[in-house]
Structure 1
Amino acid sequence: MRIDIPSERKLVHEMITPIRWGDMDAYGHVNNTIYFRYMEQARVEWITSLGYQVAPGRNSMLMMNGFCNFYKQLSYPGELILKTSIGAIGRTSMDVYTSMALTTDPETEAAIGGATMVWVDLTTNKSAPWPDDILQKLR
């Protein structure tokens, strides 16, 4: 089963990351779990580029669910272009997507995944409305 990716998304961040030897499994390709680590690193770099910390503080953006559509096997050596985009923004949640392509073939997606991110008040462990300054940066 593949998850449908909305065509209307806003690109908010782009980065390049290496495929490491240790990312591969016994079959000689990047293990499926590593794609989620790539997406996590892309989200972390995006969040910090907005001026926020991902380390626990009073408030934070937390992942509530995640998925990945795999299209092409990846293997070492190589470099990936990770493009983070956002979809729907709700009162407390937001859909975030990360596409992955080799730098040697940037037009061919190897995978694309997504996550629902929620703004959380960590003192109460409850979702909270997005701060106005985040919404201004995203819109």
Structure 2
Amino acid sequence: MRIEIPEHKRLVFEMDIPIRWGDMDAMGHVNNANYFRYLETLRIEWMCSIGCAPAPQGEGPVIVNAFCNFYRQLEYPGQVLAKLYVSDPARTTFESWATLERTDQPGVVCAAGGATVIWVDFPKQKAAPLPDWMRAHLQG
């Protein structure tokens, strides 16, 4: 199945993720929980690549909503090409979107998901405005 990413979403990062033998379940395909792990890995690697390292005593991103739609099974062995898109920066939030496809089947999306991200002041446990440097990454 081919998925169109709407224009207002901007590609910001992509990476390959190996499918591990242990990612599969008794049915012989990647367990649905592992798709969320792939999406999490993609978001974290992007965050680290732009200098947004975890800062438990400061501010940073928190996922408040996550989803994944499954279109085709992923199976071992293989590599997943994960692509991350962002959109809709608001005062304290932005949207992230992702596609997962096998590297040996370019353009054929096996799953697509996303997450709403909120910027948080961790010591205060409250939402905080997106910093200018993060907004610049989101808007390109």
Amino acid paired to 1:126: K
Partner of 2:59: 59
Tell me the alpha carbon deviations over residues 38-60 of structure 1, each in whole angstroms, 9 at most, x when there is no partner: 00000000000111113523111
Change (3 A) 1:126 1:6: farther
Q: Residue 132 in 1 paired to residue 107 in 2?
A: no
- What runs of 5+ residues in structure 1 fail to find an aligned partner? none
Partner of 2:18: 18
| 8 Å Cα contact 1:6/1:87 also seen in 2 | no
Partner of 2:70: 70
Further displaced range: 46-55 or 101-110: 46-55
Distance 1:34 1:91 in 2: 31
Identity %: 45
Partner of 1:108: 108
Distance 2:52 2:95 in 1: 18
Under a length normalisation based on structure 1, what TM-score does the superposition of the two structures give?
Answer: 0.93
Partner of 1:7: 6
1:87, CA displacement in angstroms? Answer: 1.8
Under a length normalisation based on structure 2, what TM-score does the superposition of the two structures give?
Answer: 0.92
Partner of 1:29: 29
| 8 Å Cα contact 1:44/1:54 also seen in 2 | no
1:117, CA displacement in angstroms? Answer: 0.4
Q: Which runs of 4+ in 1 moved over 6 A?
A: none
